[in-house]
Amino acid sequence: MHIIKLNATDSTNSYLRQLSNSKTLEDYTVVVTDFQEAGRGQMGTVWKSESGKNLMFSVFKDISFLDVTSNFYISRVVSLALVKTLQQFYVPKLSIKWPNDILSENNKICGVLIENILKVDSLKSTIIGIGLNVNQTDFGDLTRASSLKLLTGTHFNLDEILLNFLNNLQYYFEKLEKQQLKMLKRDYENYLFRKDKPSTFQDVEGNLFSGYIKQVTESGCLQVLLEDEKIANFDLKEITLLY
């Protein structure tokens, strides 16, 4: 494990990708920064954070052992490692909002951006970017955002949380390498936000509809039971869960 600390960078994912293009990286190479000038989230969103108050980092991981059709297990592994870490710091009422946002009750405290590197249609490595709200207490008009400090009243040591997470990440990746897929899928869905509860969704055309989240398929699609008792599978770009 090799940890690179930066005062500031545009994006830890971008920094780590450029580094991996220039040389061979040690497994679990980590880039962590006090401030991201252009932090990125899922589907082009921007991750904004106050300098020095939160954890913003990316992890390089060799995933050449993983079949390309199983790539969503990376999201499962990362989500479970985050939940386990936050439980160790007594963060309450944790859940995973598909695909890999971490919530405490209804408040988002962590976002994940996973960028896989392929070689001849095979998985080679992945860069896991994580933004975890830790000691920040003002999120402006982001009413759904919260932090560990707001939720627990405790001021946290960022390095301690990072090292705990990296240990948990290694633990769950070892499970994945041993092909313990059923266990990882089951544990992930045990924390799935709004599972088996009546929920409202919005499609890409802006239409609202109701349904029940049943599971996440092997390939990472959200499976929803619709009002007409039909089961439908949705990709990440096809549906938004409203809450």
DSSP state, residue 93: S
149 and 100 fall within a common domain: yes
Looking at the fold, whether 55 and 155 belong to one and the same domain comes out as yes
Q: Look at the chain and report how many structural domains it folds into.
A: 2
Query: Quick one: CA torsion of 50, 53, 54, 60, rounded to 10 degrees?
Result: 100
CATH of the domain at 205: 2.30.30
Q: Do residues 85 and 7 both lie within one domain?
A: yes
Examine the domain organization and report whether 69 and 186 are in the same domain: yes
Looking at the structure, do residues 229 and 154 belong to the same domain, yes or no?
no
- Tell me the C-alpha distance between 167 and 57, whole Å: 15
On whether both 213 and 186 belong to a single domain, the answer is no
Asked if 79 and 55 sit in the same domain, the reply is yes
Q: Is 144 helix (H, G, I), strand (E, B) or coil?
A: coil
> Tens of pLDDT along the chain (243 residues)?
899 999 999 999 999 999 999 999 999 999 999 988 755 554 444 545 788 899 999 999 999 999 999 999 999 999 999 999 999 999 999 999 999 999 999 999 999 999 999 998 899 999 999 999 999 999 988 899 999 999 999 999 999 999 999 999 999 999 999 999 999 999 999 999 999 999 999 999 999 999 999 999 999 999 999 998 999 999 998 999 998
What CATH number did the domain enclosing 18 receive? 3.30.930.10
Range of the domain at 215: 198-242
174 lies in the same domain as 228: no
pTM of the model: 0.94
